[in-house]
Amino acid sequence: MMKIAIIGQQDFGKAVLEAFLARGDQVAGVFCAPEKPGARPDVLKVAAQEKGVKLFQFASLKSDEAKSALKGLNAELGVMAYVLQFAPQDFVTIPKHGTIQFHPSLLPKYRGPSSINWPLIRGDAKTGLTIFRPNDGLDEGPVILQKETALSADDTLGTVYFDRLFPMGVAAMLEAADLVLAGKHRETAQDEAHASYEGWCREAEARINWHNHIDFVYNLIRGCNPAPGAWTTLNGQKLQIFDAGKHPVRTFGAVKGKVGEVVEAGATSFQVTAQGGRIEVLRAKLGDGKKVAAADLLGAGQIKAGMLLGS
């Protein structure tokens, strides 16, 4: 049995808390970022309160109060599970065996906050997760362990994270904690020659350019599904595209319509021309409406053949 402190938030933080408690470890305290005014309570905070675990919410982990709270817990190990707050060295080194942190990419590639989106958007064949020692750089500390997962041509952000990186990450946190406490872990410095940093994948990055090749458009759609949602415009309204397929063209004569044009509107999907083929849209969201099957938009007459997207 080990005594740990968890620093984290959201569903991943909650799952890590539950995994350590389920195997009989002692969670001396949980550090969770304070919610913004009016926001719902963080699920990690709720879980900690329900399980009677000491909860701390500091606006900054750099504060003397945060350091003093962690010292008071006398934890053997700090466990950082999805942390957006900066944690300085004089905080993470307080536990007897220091702190370990989860990052959902194969460091040193894809340092930064949207590290699950970018490998998909770039069309990579694999991604993975890293458990590492946090230092004052962003995702730059020495690696303790890594796990890989192949990326299929039709994976989305949702399938990669929820089906694989999330459960693999929880298990890897337990494995890394055991290695560190047993003194059996190795710490490998990241190779800066192979390092890359990507910032957020947000609305600006998720805009579809129909003049791009269909491979790029399709990868953007799946790398932003379900969030932030790749998007285009239709008559001045935002149209977010989620589930989609791609249909490459093989010959010049097979190219239909202009770039960005809805060239086929069937019963359950519609197809849009891009460079090198067509994107078939199966699920989308128009304006302030709900995320719906393309059939609903077609049935309501909101999407018709001949319409131009992104103009």
CATH number for 263 = 3.10.25.10
Q: Please give the tally of structural domains in the chain.
A: 2
Residue 253 has what pLDDT?
A: 79
Does residue 219 share a domain with residue 139? no
Is 205 a member of any domain? no
Does residue 141 share a domain with residue 224? no
| Domain termination residue (choose one: 194, 223, 248) | 194
Q: Can you tell me the distance from the alpha carbon of 282 to that of 286, in angstroms, rounded to the nearest whole number?
A: 13
Percent of the chain with pLDDT over 70: 100
Q: Is the per-residue pLDDT at 254 higher than 90?
A: no
Is 209 a member of any domain? no
Does residue 230 share a domain with residue 152? no
Does residue 171 share a domain with residue 128? yes
Does residue 73 share a domain with residue 118? yes
Does residue 144 share a domain with residue 98? yes
Q: Is the per-residue pLDDT at 281 higher than 80?
A: yes
Q: Is the per-residue pLDDT at 276 higher than 80?
A: yes
| Domain termination residue (choose one: 194, 227, 243) | 194
Mean pLDDT of the chain: 97
Domain boundaries, position 188 = 3-194
| Domain termination residue (choose one: 163, 194, 225) | 194
Does residue 82 share a domain with residue 160? yes
Does residue 171 share a domain with residue 129? yes
Please indicate, yes or no, whether the overall pTM of this predicted structure exceeds 0.85.
yes
Q: Is the per-residue pLDDT at 252 higher than 90?
A: no
Does residue 177 share a domain with residue 76? yes
Does residue 245 share a domain with residue 118? no
Does residue 169 share a domain with residue 263? no
pLDDT digit string (tens) for 133-172? 999 999 999 999 999 999 999 999 999 999 999 999 999 9
CATH number for 53 = 3.40.50.170
Q: Is the per-residue pLDDT at 311 higher than 80?
A: no
Residue 42 has what pLDDT?
A: 96
Does residue 169 share a domain with residue 65? yes
Phi, psi at residue 254, to the nearest 5°?
-85, -10
pLDDT digit string (tens) for 51-103? 999 999 999 999 999 999 999 999 999 999 999 999 999 999 999 999 999 99
Is 208 a member of any domain? no
Is 138 a member of any domain? yes
